[in-house]
Structure 1
Amino acid sequence: MKKLILRNFQSPGDIVMLTAVVRDLHAAYPGQFATDVRTPCPAIWENNPHITPLREQDGDVEVIDCRYPLIHQSNHTPYHFLHGFIDYLNGKLGLATRPTRFCGDIHLAPCEKQWISQVEEIVHRPLPFWIIVAGGKRDFTIKWWARERYQAVVDHFAGVIKFVQVGEGGHEHPALHDVIDLRGKTDLRQLIRLVHHAQGVLCPVTLLMHLAAAVEVRPGMPKNRPCVVVAGGREPPHWEAYPHHQFLHRAGALRCCDDGGCWKSRVRPLGDHAAGDRPDQLCVDVVGNLPRCMDLVTADDVIRAVELYFAGGAIAWLSPAERDALCRATELAS
């Protein structure tokens, strides 16, 4: 049995993609590999049946720094992010691993599935809710959409969808009104469990869209969790999008992304001397504070995308009894 330690120290969304290659490696070569990982996100690997504790200093252990150079071909080749680590590991080890599922590989313990959600702890009964991410990392401003547009979506669905706002404390997540505010109040494992209970997710291209696809749904839900992604034109859609998501991209609509994604980092320089401030990393078509590709995604576009899941019958609006429970919880909280 070949022993591998796979290392990657990128963002949590990248690590969710790494879980897929571990799953698919064992599916392609059962019993031939023992795998361990070194990442900044141990919570993503909890309960993973494909992880075997290994020591880097042992002579029969091979340590591989995992990358996905396939991304540099993504504008012109028909591959998804899921192929990135797989293609790299295949090249390093002479393998022929293929994706087995169109999502990452997150595992919940049986007891975790029985725990009530943080939302239920607040409103004192199980209620359907949508997670909303209205910001992002401060060094990747090109992925941001406008706070007032997120608020317009929340306002439109008042009384029929309850939104729960999340976001890492060190990132930029402007407060929304009339939401359950869990910004900075969830660690990564709690966030995974929150996604498990969520009826849907609204976010930019970020960790939450990958979790929306990778985390198991609750009984009674559709097989795949609804998710609306405000994507713009930074990435080619086929590299990022999942087949059951509403991926609101504008690739091909503007000259700056008419040949795949632009892959820029920022709307304007931040003055931090980082690579994202280089002229070649700045948006070339800005409208106000938004990249034009994001400006072309309107609140009505997002509202319609969310409504599709209800119109098609995949999920249902809040019932009158559920709305009453929310109102009582809100009154108690105030």
Structure 2
Amino acid sequence: MRKLILRNFQSPGDIVMLTAAVRDLHATYSGEFVTDVRTPCPALWEHNPHITPLGEQERDVEVLDCHYPLIHQSNHAPYHFLHGFIDYLNARLGLAIRPTCFCGDIHLAPREKQWISQVEEIVHWPMPFWIVVAGGKRDFTIKWWAHERYQAVVDHFAGKIAFVQVGEGGHEHPLLRNVIDLRGKTDLRQLVRLVHHAQGVLCPVTLLMHLAAAVEVRPGMPKHRPCVVVAGGREPPHWEAYPHHQFLHRAGALRCCDDGGCWKSRVHALGDGSPQDRVENLCVATVGALPRCMDMISTDDVIRAIELYFVGGAIEALPQRAEAAYAWQS
């Protein structure tokens, strides 16, 4: 059996894509490989049946630094992010791995599925909730939507949806009103379990959209977790979007993203010395603090996208009890 250690030290969203490639490697070549990984996100590999501890100095172990150069063709070639690492492994190892599922490969132990959520620990009942990410990393401010628009969405669904705000400490995640505040209060594994319990997710293009697709849903939920992604025009939709998500993009509506995504980094320079401040990485069509493609996504657009899941019957609103809907505020 061929022994591989696959290394990648990018962001958690990238690592979710690598989990899919490892799954599909074993699905295509069952029994032919032993695999281990080196990533900054061990929590995403917990309970993964395809991981076997290997030492880099062991005999016959191949160590491969994994990349996804396919992204440079993403504006024009018909590939999803899930193809990125697969294409690289095929080229480097002389394989023909084929994708098997339209999602990453995150595993929960049986005991984890039995634990109550952090939300239930707070409100003392199994309240349905949506996760909201209303900010992001400062290296890619072009992905941010307006904070006041997220707030308007939260306010619109008062009594119908309980929102739980998450965000990594050290990143930019201003507090929304009338939410359960779990910003900086979840490690990566806790975040995976929170997604498992979540009824839906509202976010920009970020880790949470990939977890929304990759993490198993609870019993009684639709087969695929509702997720609304405020995407704008940075990435080509086919590279990022999942079939059961509402992916709100504006690619093709503006000249700056009429041939795929613009792949810019920031709306305005921040003066922090980052390469993202270079003029070639800055948005060329801005409306105040927003890229125009994000400004063109209104609160009504997001509200309608969320409501579709209720109108279609995929999920149900909170019980019509104000004291239940707002229990966490007391």
Tell me by how many angstroms 1:275 deviates: 1.4
Task: In structure 2, list runs of 5 or more residues that go unmatched.
Answer: none
Residue 326 of structure 2 corresponds to residue 327 of structure 1: yes
- 1:174 maps to 174
Change (3 A) 1:209 1:328: closer
Q: Deviations over 1:84-133 (max 9, x none)?
A: 00000000011000100000000000000000000000110001100000
Letter in 1 for 2:324: A
Tell me by how many angstroms 1:59 deviates: 2.8
- 1:284 maps to 284
Q: Deviations over 1:202-258 (max 9, x none)?
A: 000000000000000000000000000000000000000000000000000000000
User: 3-state SS of the aligned residue for 2:152?
Assistant: helix
- 2:218 maps to 218
User: 3-state SS of the aligned residue for 2:138?
Assistant: coil
User: 3-state SS of the aligned residue for 1:238?
Assistant: helix
Write out aligned runs for 1:136-151 (5 A).
Answer: 136-151=136-151
- 1:113 maps to 113
- 2:256 maps to 256
Write out aligned runs for 1:261-276 (5 A).
Answer: 261-276=261-276
Write out aligned runs for 1:87-106 (5 A).
Answer: 87-106=87-106
- 2:184 maps to 184
Write out aligned runs for 1:188-203 (5 A).
Answer: 188-203=188-203
- 2:11 maps to 11
- 1:85 maps to 85
Letter in 1 for 2:111: C
User: Partners in 1 of 2:174 and 2:274 — Cα distance?
Assistant: 23
Residue 51 of structure 2 corresponds to residue 51 of structure 1: yes
User: Partners in 2 of 1:327 and 1:179 — Cα distance?
Assistant: 9
Alpha carbons 1:236, 1:261 under 8 Å: kept: yes
Tell me by how many angstroms 1:270 deviates: 1.3
User: Partners in 1 of 2:115 and 2:193 — Cα distance?
Assistant: 9
Alpha carbons 1:123, 1:326 under 8 Å: kept: no
Letter in 1 for 2:228: V
- TM-score norm. by structure 2 comes to 0.99
User: Partners in 2 of 1:326 and 1:311 — Cα distance?
Assistant: 20
Tell me by how many angstroms 1:148 deviates: 0.1
Alpha carbons 2:24, 2:100 under 8 Å: kept: yes
User: 3-state SS of the aligned residue for 1:320?
Assistant: coil
User: Partners in 2 of 1:279 and 1:327 — Cα distance?
Assistant: 46
- TM-score norm. by structure 1 comes to 0.98
User: Partners in 2 of 1:146 and 1:98 — Cα distance?
Assistant: 39
User: Partners in 1 of 2:49 and 2:215 — Cα distance?
Assistant: 15
User: Partners in 2 of 1:324 and 1:219 — Cα distance?
Assistant: 25
Letter in 2 for 1:6: L
Letter in 2 for 1:280: E
Letter in 2 for 1:286: T
User: Partners in 2 of 1:123 and 1:181 — Cα distance?
Assistant: 12
Letter in 2 for 1:146: A
Q: Deviations over 1:187-206 (max 9, x none)?
A: 00000000000000000000
User: Partners in 2 of 1:50 and 1:18 — Cα distance?
Assistant: 12
Letter in 2 for 1:132: V
Q: Deviations over 1:28-85 (max 9, x none)?
A: 0000000000000000000000000000011310000000000000000000000000
User: Partners in 2 of 1:130 and 1:324 — Cα distance?
Assistant: 18
User: 3-state SS of the aligned residue for 2:134?
Assistant: coil
CA RMSD for the aligned pairs?
0.7
User: Partners in 2 of 1:256 and 1:320 — Cα distance?
Assistant: 45
User: Partners in 2 of 1:53 and 1:142 — Cα distance?
Assistant: 39
- 1:162 maps to 162
User: Partners in 1 of 2:252 and 2:6 — Cα distance?
Assistant: 36
Letter in 2 for 1:247: F
Letter in 2 for 1:30: S
Change (3 A) 1:66 1:328: closer
Q: Identity rate of aligned residues, in percent? A: 82
Residue 239 of structure 2 corresponds to residue 239 of structure 1: yes
